Amino acid sequence: MKRKKVLVFRELPEDQLARLQAAHEVTVANPRIAEQRSAFEAALPEAQGLIGSSFPVDEALLARASKLEVISSVSVGVDNYAPAALHARGILLCHTPGVLDETVADTVFALLMATSRRVVELSSLVREGRWSKNIGEDLFGHDVHGKTLGLLGFGRIGQAIARRAALGFGMPVLFHARHAVDLAAHAPELLGRATHTPLDELLSRADIVVAMLPLSDSTRGMIDARVFGRMKPGAIFINGGRGATVQEPALLAALDQGTLRAAGLDVFATEPLPLDSPLRTHPRVTPLPHIGSATHETRHAMAELAVTNLLKALAGERPLAVYDTAFA
């Protein structure tokens, strides 16, 4: 097979890079790193395949990539790409659904436990030498088991969160999604335990609201002052999806006005989180640096799937996971 030109725009594990190098001419250049930016720009016009993540591949960038046949994202989320432009040019977009579901659900649960039981705050009290007497009610947390979970987004990852909540913690699960989900066919273990619920009803009944939504035109800014205003007083909010689905000023207002007890955030509208963001130091926010899928095992599985997708696409075969840009 003819060797093609591949541009790797975010580092890959060595064994996965070697799979690419065995078949194609590979340039590794991360445009986020100033010293590598010119190598990235030099390779772009010749690249037939792009592979990487966490960098906006917008229409202007695509215009400089005239030979591009396929983009393989090492992520399940595809909000960094320009679906209409890709579709118009017939460029395939591949991604990594499925292999990260359980790991991301674990991260969301870690945030859910940490916020409800004030784990980070109370651990700091010990580390800073402020544990001088038995803690009193003012530092008690709230139970997680048995509480009602409201899920915004009930796709692959949302369902993995629902399984943990319903089967492990005895939590009734309410979910809001764009389409109804046939539980009998797709998640029979959740029958009778998870219920498709209109958004406002979900918000008024959930003790903990978890957002696990993709970023799209329909979800950008969707979690706004109205949504926070409908939540139960004292609710906890977790975002494991994308930061820009939330209007961050409205989130801060809900925390400061006491509607929300706490927030656990893995994702932010701007990443890395700017130093002057009030969310960084807010006493009732537990922030994480976008680590949903960041385990050795899962990041390797994502890279492996992304490389397989790219190799298949460049060989004219059907990749394992293609994102349908026609309906984005």
Ligand X SMILES: O=C(O)[C@H](O)CO
Ligand Y SMILES: NC(=O)c1ccc[n+]([C@@H]2O[C@H](COP(=O)([O-])OP(=O)(O)OC[C@H]3O[C@@H](n4cnc5c(N)ncnc54)[C@H](O)[C@@H]3O)[C@@H](O)[C@H]2O)c1
- Contact (Cβ atoms closer than 8 angstroms) between residue 212 and residue 175: no
* Spatial distance between the Cα atoms of 166 and 74, rounded to a whole number of angstroms: 30
Q: With binding defined as CB under 6 A, does residue 292 bind ligand X?
A: yes
User: Is the CB of 48 or the CB of 107 nearer to ligand Y?
Assistant: 107
CA angle 153, 250, 261 (to 5 degrees): 75
Which partner in ligand X, ligand Y, none is near 62 (CB below 5 to 8 A by kind)?
none
Closest-by-Cβ residue to ligand X is 77
Based on the residue annotation, tell me whether 128 is a catalytic residue of this protein: no
* Spatial distance between the Cα atoms of 111 and 143, rounded to a whole number of angstroms: 14
| Catalytic annotation, pick one of 10, 156, 290, 299 | 290
Q: With binding defined as CB under 6 A, does residue 107 bind ligand X?
A: no
Subset of 141-160 contacting ligand Y (CB under 6 A): 153-158
Stretch that binds ligand Y, among 85-93, 170-178, 189-197, 279-287 (CB under 6 A): 170-178
Q: How many residues does the chain have?
A: 328
Which partner in ligand X, ligand Y, none is near 153 (CB below 5 to 8 A by kind)?
ligand Y
Task: Please count the residues of this chain forming the interface with ligand Y, following the rule CB under 6 A.
Answer: 30
* Spatial distance between the Cα atoms of 204 and 231, rounded to a whole number of angstroms: 5
Based on the residue annotation, tell me whether 127 is a catalytic residue of this protein: no
Q: With binding defined as CB under 6 A, does residue 247 bind ligand Y?
A: no
CB of 321 to ligand Y, least distance (A): 11
State the burial class of residue 138 (Cβ atoms within 10 Å of its Cβ: 0-12, 13-18, 19+). exposed
φ/ψ region of 265 (left if φ > 0, alpha if ψ in -120 to 50, else beta) reads beta
| Positions marked catalytic | 242, 271, 290
**Binding residues vs ligand X (CB under 6 A):** 53, 75-77, 100, 292-293
